[in-house]
Structure 1
Amino acid sequence: MGSGAVLLNKVLERRLRRADIRLILDTLCRDDQDTFLDELSDVLRKLITLTEVSTRLSESLSLDVLLSRLIEITTESLEAYRGTVFLHDKDTNELYSRAALGNLIQEIRIPIHQGIVGNVFVTGQPVNIDDAYADARFNPEMDKKTGYKTRNVLAVPIKTKDRQIVGVIQLLNKKSGSFSENDLLMLEAIGGQAAAALQNAQTYEIVSRTRHEESMLFQQVGKERREEAQFFKFTREIFFELRMESLFKKITETTATLLAAERSVLYLHDDKANELWSMTTHESQTVRVRFPSHLGIAGSALITGEIVNIPDTAKLPSSIFPVDIEPGFPAHSVLCAPIKTSQGKVVGVIQVRNKKGGPFDRADESRLEIFAGYASIAIRNAELFEATLKSANYFESIFRTLPNGLLLMNANRTIEDCNDAASEILDLPKDRIVGSQVGDIFLGDSKCVTNAVERVVQSAKPEVGMYARLNLLEGRVVTLNLSVLPILADHDRIAGAILALDPLVTRGTYRTLQGYRNQNPPAYIPINSVISTGS
């Protein structure tokens, strides 16, 4: 490595500034200056190439477009005659590539262990082969078919940020000489830049293909548009049900209608008891049914996490006849779909029974599986709502029954609620307190309360234990211990404050306060100073 390259590497270890370049140039002879500038120019050209990769690959979600652009960029920037991008197909465990052939796209597929590309994918190691025919991994059959002569090969794995290998970029035949170590590093950098875009395009293509297949299924039964509209109408409806009992009913009614079934049952998994449970209505009463989670057809769907389709329950061995089928309701055909969270955890099962007109088919399986995904979100929302409601009821119970008076204020310092104790302490009806500003309740010298509230809202820091002798409406005076606590909506925003009114004082404080009986004490003093004086 020349002195210019050594200096260039040192420069690139930190941010490059104009003064740095000038300083370096001043220390070099003319030849080294030319070398340094050439290498710096090469680095900048490569940085521009990487920027181009990010920009051009972010402009489209079409996999065919991205593959074509990536090949164009890599062959041009690294001066290669040909290039190919291979991606991993997880479903078939193959490597595939696509090439334009006239107006058609031709797809090439190879096993993941075959040839140079397969070796790079499996090992995760790049290769720079100067003589392709001298390498045992090279397959000359393609050259024989096309008449093309491969001289040298450069191939690198395409790795995501978490080091997952998603494909391979391969370049053939450097236009002048052989591929260099710098070419290999550059191709690795391009692959790293392209990985996320290629993954997104693959996902988009899978989603698009899945949607297309679903559309074809709807077309086969001749009801595509009507069933699609009905399906999404029903899925939207379940999101408005936040009460678990109502949600159970809505999900079972919806799945029975969607799949033209006689009955539908929703089972949820109780992790602690390791049981499946469901809600049923018997003589206008809601009854919960439970059984061990490994039993029945529903248990099988829960444990395997897979669709279970039983065309004829009569053919099931009597020893494993499902416990989830009621004796009074004959089930001839049963279809079960697991309900999974976004993390893949199975939290329940949707079961439909007795399709009208025959057994459940593949289209029914697909439809129920998709609906189960929506149901998972709706169930999670209902669980969160129930938990929130319990917390709110618990807080409301505490709020109402505390012996201390509590005034709940919003960020605008308006009193939004108060408990009975506050109404009694202030000797004001609740409707006179709620909707007022703090300054409307505490008058005259009592401005200290308003100031304390203001400080707490501004600083998000509580002020506790203030002794205060406060002027109220109609000339009333009350002596209290006050505390102001902030209500935090999140880390950056104050939602309001709680003003706590305590008419009681400690015995030590009471002795101290005797000295104030025949005097006019200040509007408020910190309770800590009162206690220390009294002691």
Structure 2
Amino acid sequence: MGNTGQGLLKTEEYETRIKTLETEARLVTDKLVREEFEIAELKKGLRLAETELSIYREIDSITYEMIDVKAMLDRIMDLVVKTMDADAGTLYRFTDNGELVFEVVKGPVAEKLQGEKMKVCEGIAGWVARTEMPYVANEVVRDPLWNREFSNKAGYAPQDILGIPLKTKRGILGVVEVLNKREGEPFEKRDLDILNALSLRIATILEKTKFFIELDRHAKQFAILTEIGTLLNSTLDQKVVRNMALEAITRLMNAEAGSLLLVDNEKKELYFEVALGEKGDRVKEIRLKIGEGIAGWVAEHGEPLLIPDVRKDSRFYRLADEKTDFVTRNMVCVPIKVKDKTIGVLEAINRLDGVFTEDDVKLFQMFSNQVAIALDNARLYEEMRDTFLGVAEALAEAIEKRDPYTGGHTKRVVNYSLAAAKYLNLSQREIELLRLSAILHDIGKVGIEDKILRKPGRLDDEETKVMKMHPTFGVDIMQHIKQLKDLIPGMKYHHERSDGNGYPDGLKGKEIPIIASIIAVADTFDAMTTDRSYRTRLPHHIAIDEIKKEAGAQFEREVALAFVKAFEAGEIET
């Protein structure tokens, strides 16, 4: 009995001890589980802190001089997906025209979705952007907001989605989404808190980069504006100004197309003054009444218009698109004004990256002011030039009236000279100087007495000597007019010969200004092919043979051959 009692006592002690040990084991196990959980939480916290720190470093690295936004956002989304233990992720950028662009896509279908766009009214990301609130979708395929179009396109249907708006005090910038936790668990409140914390940092990056990108865009625009202004003011040819203006529109405004319409005051219409290519010829057939279409409205009211969607604007004139097979989506249209009077309209059509903004309107108006100044300067110059040409032609005609045998001589010499110039690769300025020099080439004859100028027969030696003074007399007249000094060489030396036997200075070959050489051939051809008091005119073919024979002797060879080419092309008309 004693042994049995002692055995029972020991059994109870053992059981008590076992229970104590089991309790202690459970406590240790619970402690280990808690510690492991705490360690896991600490690891998550550390990973989040490291991610936030990395994003802060990205923010600090943003400078005006060095911005690679795409690479930066790509790195950030790698960090976000890793921190959230997600299978995939997307960063959407919100555009000015209300679209969400798949800016950065991570995961198995990244290549299929990168760069795609969707309306802000579509999908879970659209809802987040529209409401500026986060959204958690478990069992996505059953979610009413899920956009099945992109799921089918990519061949990928996520199980869970967590979306957070990227916003600052200035408004919504985009949306960040993560898809499918790797452990297969649904997203929960803690995940929402983590992504929300990260989204604040990402939004800061987007805002900062957007500021610098806009700053860079404006700097480039003003540089282009300055360059274009310099080009516009480098010419006084209205046609060149108009062509430059049209070519500059697409570059300055980042637009698909542009147009320049001018006002026809007599008909009260707008017409396409500049239009390039085959489609441009079709556009030139179109004329708008003042007040008709968007351009007509701008011309009538003298105010700019910003049209985000032309299809929704009743003023849109669809015939231009129909004639050219062009599709106009959006445009900005501004008046061209000179002294508060609208003389035309500029249009920038279809911005290449979104829609035009009010900033674009202001920029386009500045450009329009430059075009207006350049066009007005060119118009004033052309009016002054035409006035001077008229005076010069009248003076030349008055001189011709003193000699009954030289009627129409000046006009023919001008026409012959310009015809030959087409084959001599002259600049536009040289052609203009040639025209004026040819008009005034005989102005020095005003100093020749009538008895010599109107003599019915050949001149004697003394009279010839006096007649040869007319280029010098011309110089004496022209040198008092500073603005006409560039005309003196063509007028003074048009009786020089390539062999050096001409007058007044006996110049040879290339010493003779090319303008004078051209006038010399034209003057001689006209003298040979018109009646004079001492002989009758020569047939044209004989006169041309004479010019060919004298090429390199009386005439500069290159100029003589150019004149012959013009004659053979039928451009020497008498």
Normalised by the length of structure 1, the TM-score is: 0.37
- More strand by percentage: 1
Select the structure of larger CA radius of gyration. 2
- More helix by percentage: 2
